[in-house]
Each structure stands twice: as structure tokens, then as C-alpha cells.
Structure 1
Amino acid sequence: MSDKICSYVEHVAIRVKDIHWHIHFFKDVCGMDVREVDGDLNNPNQYWTIGGLQLMAMPDLDEVPSNDKGWLAHLGIMVNNMDAVLKKAYAYDVKELPQGYNWLQLPDGLAVEFIQAAEGSIEEILSINPRNV
């Protein structure tokens, strides 16, 4: 084993008010299918996607004190077809942010930056199973 330290983000956990909306959005817009579910698939407590998201159901998110919400600045998502992704994304109840057309705010306030990936890179990355199980 090498002494060199290497890292990457395996998943990002996000507390969301409407988990079903977010599951549908990320599956439809980004093609992020389910990897794992905590609870019933029809009413999940948590939902992990292939591609690194962990959505945590928190229907009472508005009632949680701001210092307990766990702020997230934004979520950067590499995409293989920016035009197609943005066309689908803008069909949802999203708002463009001042940073540009590829920066969107979702209904619960999550900011998402879509980034165009190099051709073939996403498919190559997603073909790797880094887990030791």
C-alpha cells in the first residue's frame, strides 16, 4: 500500500423536505438510479444514488433551527450532455442563479452547478466499483 493520500467524494448527504421530488429530479435529469434505500422504496427515509447522492427525508425541514440544518453551499454535478440536462432541469420548478444558466436553485433551496464533462469520462468513472465488498 502506498503512503500517498488520495480522496474523492463518494456521496453527498442532503436533507430535503420532499424526498420524492428530489428522487424524481435527479433520476430524470441526471440519470442517477437508486443504489440503496433506507426504509420502503415508496416511502424512503434515505435514498442513495449511483453517482454519489444521499437524500435524507426531512419533511419538517422548515421547522428545524437554522444551526441544525447542515448547510451545503452547492452541489457540483458533472454531466455528459449539458444541453439535454438543462432542458430537462428547466422543466422543473427551478430558478436560475446569478452565477449562470447552469446554476439552478431547487425548491428546498439547494444550489446545483451542472458542469460539462469531457467526452466519455463520466461513463468511464461510473464503470468503476471502488467498494471493497
Structure 2
Amino acid sequence: MTNANNAYVEHVAIRVADIDWHVRFFREVLGMTIREATPEGQVPYQVWTIGGVQLMSFPGFEAAPSNDAGRLAHLGIMVEDRETALAAAQRWNVKELPQGRNWLQLPDGLAIELIQAHGDAVAEALAVQPRA
């Protein structure tokens, strides 16, 4: 049976305690650059990355120190080179989770799973311009 409507997740919005740390981590470790941001001082301050992550900063927001922070279970992130991303992530005070060395917990509790892409899957996904 075919579905007339196909869909994918365009972005996931995540509340974070330190948005600047998260922007730097997603950019420097995973190569996710900023696509859009609200003006500084706007509440909530928000940043969207190319790659589908929306980071939201609210004054006074405190994340729980464990993965049960209530935000979401984890982010599965497809990477071109998992070993390079894992090596880069180690310099960011992340914690390896019991699920495996490619499961990382960021300092304020957000969990990510780094998944090795095959072929040009990442480049092909990033080439899609759904808002154009």
C-alpha cells in the first residue's frame, strides 16, 4: 500500500541551558552551521541549524543532569565520518552512554546517537532545499 503523503522531520526543537555551547558543539563537532536565528535578546532566543536542530534558550531554564530531562529520548544524527566526529566530541566534556561508544550525553543531559552514513547520504540530504 502506498501513502499519498511522504514526510520527514524538518527540524527538532530542543530547550538547552547554554545555547552558545550547543551552537559551538553542533558546528565544530558535527559541521551543522546556522541557518537562521532570532535577534539577540528575543525570548526565547532560538537558533536553527542546517541539519534540522532548533536550539531554544529561555531565561532560567535548567536541564536535568541526566538523559531523562523530559525533552526527548535522543537525537539520531547521521554523520559522514563517525570516527572523526567521536574524536572531536571527546574534547567537549561529553559522556559515553551504555548503549555504545557512538551514544553521547552532552553536559546538560541531551543524548545523541552518531550514525555512520553510507555513500553520499549526508550530502544528498543537505542538498534538499525544502524552503526554497
2:57 aligned with 1:57: yes
Report the counterpart of residue 105 of structure 2 in structure 1: 105
- Residues 104 and 111, structure 1, Cα contact 8 Å, conserved in 2: yes
- Residues 15 and 71, structure 2, Cα contact 8 Å, conserved in 1: no
Q: Provide the TM-score with structure 2 as the length reference.
A: 0.87
> SS state of the match for residue 61, structure 1?
coil
Letter in 1 for 2:125: I
Counterpart CA distance in 1 for 2:27 and 2:6 is: 29
Deviation at residue 71 of structure 1 after TM alignment: 2.2
Deviation at residue 128 of structure 1 after TM alignment: 1.5
- Residues 17 and 63, structure 2, Cα contact 8 Å, conserved in 1: no
What is the aligned length?
A: 126
- Residues 12 and 54, structure 1, Cα contact 8 Å, conserved in 2: yes
Letter in 2 for 1:45: Y
Counterpart CA distance in 2 for 1:58 and 1:80 is: 32
Letter in 2 for 1:37: A
Counterpart CA distance in 2 for 1:79 and 1:113 is: 10
Deviation at residue 40 of structure 1 after TM alignment: 2.6
Please report the RMSD computed on the Cα atoms of aligned residues, expressed in angstroms: 2.3
Report the counterpart of residue 11 of structure 1 in structure 2: 11
- Residues 75 and 112, structure 1, Cα contact 8 Å, conserved in 2: yes
- Residues 32 and 51, structure 2, Cα contact 8 Å, conserved in 1: yes
Counterpart CA distance in 2 for 1:80 and 1:92 is: 19
- Residues 16 and 59, structure 1, Cα contact 8 Å, conserved in 2: no
Q: Which sections of structure 2, spanning at least 5 residues, go unmatched?
A: none
Counterpart CA distance in 2 for 1:61 and 1:47 is: 16
- Residues 125 and 90 (structure 1 numbering): CA distance in 2 closer, same or farther, change over 3 Å? same
Letter in 2 for 1:122: V
Letter in 2 for 1:101: R
Q: Provide the TM-score with structure 1 as the length reference.
A: 0.86
> SS state of the match for residue 29, structure 1?
helix
Spell out the pairing of 1:1-133 with structure 2 (5 A cutoff): 4-40=4-40, 45-62=45-62, 70-131=70-131, 133=132
